[in-house]
Amino acid sequence: MTPAPRNLITDVPGLKVGNAHCEKTKSGVTVLIPDEQAVASVAILGGAPGTRDIALLEPEQTVNAIDALVLSGGSAFGLDAGSGAQVRLAELGKGFKVGSAVIPITPTAILFDLLNGGDKSWGRKPVYREMGIEAVDNAGDDFELGSAGAGFGATTADLKGGLGSASLSLPRGGTVGALIAVNALGRPTIGDTPYFWAAPSEQNGEFGGLGWPAEMPGMDRTVQTKFTLGTIDLSPNTNTTIGIVATDLILTKSEAKRIATAAHDGYARALWPAHTPMDGDLLFVISTGKRKMQDPMVELLELGAYAAQTVSRAIARGVYNATEYPGDTVPTWKSQHGSR
């Protein structure tokens, strides 16, 4: 299996991604926009999610397609990013049409980055709404990883998190991609070592090419989190890894829901621990509907497996590509372990 050309979620035909961030606030927004309205669903396996317009993604609900998916920092304040994206998309004429009204559908998920050293004294200034607008305007085929967009102020147990993406060309045709903002309670690496839990899925040295530690029996499997390591002044709900899986295979909402559930395995393989009571771990799945499956039962099964693998790679790439900024509360992977 090989990554698609960009090794980004935008390798899936018909998608664009835009980032916006504020260095002073140490937070940001990422928006994924399909060229046309697209089928989407969601699976939430963490215990502390923050969302907007999520219920409509359930298979039994009426709305069959969305206009954008929004990932944001800022905890509940970041939900305003969905409003900003919605307003800008309406200006561009995109949305769900009800008579003469046009309503863009912009489901949104947020992560907690309020205690990362940034200045959060924004008062009534609509910082996330403005970043949502800016992210829509920045949307394109290529985008920055690491300290960018929704991952700009993200952290893990002992390293900076970040925005990661990866893609894979499917064996029977089609593409799967992942876009993840990594802000986990747990660790993406094995103990204090530079080795990523996601190493078995790595393609072409995309996050350092270190592989597994030489001494497998000596791997540190101790559960270490922001709580036990004391890397941040914590209260509950201060974490959350959020992301999107995309494919050009035609999916129903029910099938998208099933793929979202299966793709969560990628969180469990790349983060230790994952899906905790204090993480709001969430995955959207979106289908641009460009390619018909020839063998739906087999291809759907394979899509779930490869989606999970791609999610793991995206998580590690987000952490690996994080960069240092003044006032950071934790180091980057590269500053801790050297650029490899």
DSSP calls for 233-250: ---SS----EEEEEEEE-
CATH number of the domain that residue 225 is part of: 3.60.70.12
209-218 confidence digits (pLDDT tens) = 999 887 654 5
- Domain-located, residue 170: yes
Tokens coding 126: 């609509």
Residue type, 292: K
* 232 occurs within a structural domain: yes
Distance CA 318, CA 190 (A): 16
The secondary structure of residue 65, as a DSSP letter, is: -
Measure the CA–CA gap between 180 and 288, rounded to whole angstroms: 18
Beta strand pairing status for 101-103 and 51-52? unpaired
Q: Enter the tokens of residue 232.
A: 């941040």
Distance CA 166, CA 232 (A): 29
Which residues make Cβ contacts (< 8 Å) with residue 59, sequence separation at least 6? 41, 252, 253, 254, 257
DSSP at 187: B
**8 three-state secondary structure:** coil
- The residue whose two tokens read 């990932």 is 71
- pLDDT given for residue 236 in this prediction: 42
Kindly tell me the burial class for residue 126, based on how many C-beta atoms sit within 10 Å of its own C-beta (0-12, 13-18, 19 or more): middle
Assigned domain for 2 exists: no
Helix (H/G/I), strand (E/B), else coil: 133: helix
Token representation of residue 18: 């835009």
Contact between 72 and 149 under an 8 Å Cβ cutoff? The reply is no
CA atoms within 13 A on the CB side of 155: 30
Residue found by looking up tokens 């002073």 in the block: 24
> Residue 335: its pLDDT value, please?
94
| Within-domain flag for 1 | no
Q: What is the CA radius of gyration of the chain?
A: 18
User: Would residue 78 count as lying in a domain?
Assistant: yes
Q: What is the pLDDT of residue 154?
A: 96
Type of residue found at 167: S
Are 187 and 317 in contact by the 8 Å Cβ rule? The answer is no
How far, in Å, are 72, 134, 143, 174 from residue 21 at the CA level? 10, 9, 13, 32
Encoded amino acid at 122, one letter: W
* Tokens at 65, concatenated: 């397609």
C-beta separation of 236 from 262 below 8 A? no
Number of domains in the chain: 1
The whole domain housing 69 covers 9-333
Report pLDDT for 241.
95
What is the amino acid identity at position 119? D
340 inside domain:
no
Question: Which regions of the chain are under pLDDT 50?
Answer: 217, 235-237
pLDDT of residue 2: 82
Domain membership flag for residue 272: yes
Length of the chain: 340
- Give the count of beta carbons closer than 10 Å to the beta carbon of residue 326: 7
E strands, 213-281, are: 242-249
The three-point CA angle 317-219-198 to 5° equals 20
Is 266 inside a domain boundary?
yes
Nearest 5 degrees, angle CA 296-CA 165-CA 199? Answer: 90
